[in-house]
Amino acid sequence: MDFIEVSGIRCYGYTGYLPEEQVLGQWFEVDLILGVDLKDAGISDNLDDTSDYRQAIAIVKNHIKTTKVALIEKLTEMIAQEILSLPNVNHVRIRLTKLAPPIPDFPGNITIDITRKKD
């Protein structure tokens, strides 16, 4: 299987368990790995033979900006399912990171990492 990697998609959103997270929002960062057969595109040089990763980026940004759910697990799953509906995408791995989780005395971040395949 071939892959297209897209990293560093940053967006401000309103997903979080605490009520203030859904009101004040916070920054998220997403890295994608799209499983796509790239052989035909490598020969044809035609965008129709691959997956236009701009669409995947738009899906990520739209979900982060507009979705208000409690868990980043839910947000990540929603993104994965929509990306899998894109033409030629057979597999997706998503790493969604909450860059500044509101946890006292914790300067790190939290990442959800999921892999999904088309049925």
User: What's the CA gap between 69 and 14, in Å, rounded?
Assistant: 8
Residue range 32-57: average pLDDT? Answer: 95
**Region for 46 from its dihedrals, namely left if φ exceeds 0, alpha if ψ lies in -120 to 50, beta otherwise:** beta
Q: Are 115 and 34 in contact (CB under 8 A)?
A: no
Catalytic residues: 98
Residue range 93-111: average pLDDT? Answer: 96
Judge whether residue 86 has pLDDT over 90: yes
User: What's the CA gap between 48 and 36, in Å, rounded?
Assistant: 12
Q: What pLDDT shows up at residue 62?
A: 98
- Residue 114, classified by CB atoms within 10 Å of its CB into exposed (0-12), middle (13-18) or buried (19+), is middle
Residue range 53-74: average pLDDT? Answer: 97
Beta-bridged to residue 29, according to DSSP, are: 10, 97
Tokens of residue 72, six digits: 């980043």
Q: Are 2 and 53 in contact (CB under 8 A)?
A: no
Residue range 40-51: average pLDDT? Answer: 94
User: What's the CA gap between 97 and 86, in Å, rounded?
Assistant: 23
Q: What pLDDT shows up at residue 119?
A: 82
Per-chain mean pLDDT for the chain: 96
Residue 33's pLDDT band (cuts 50, 70, 90): very high
Q: What pLDDT shows up at residue 67?
A: 96
Q: Are 64 and 15 in contact (CB under 8 A)?
A: yes
Residue range 21-31: average pLDDT? Answer: 96
The label of the residue with tokens 């914790």 reads: 106
Q: What pLDDT shows up at residue 1?
A: 84
Model pTM score: 0.94
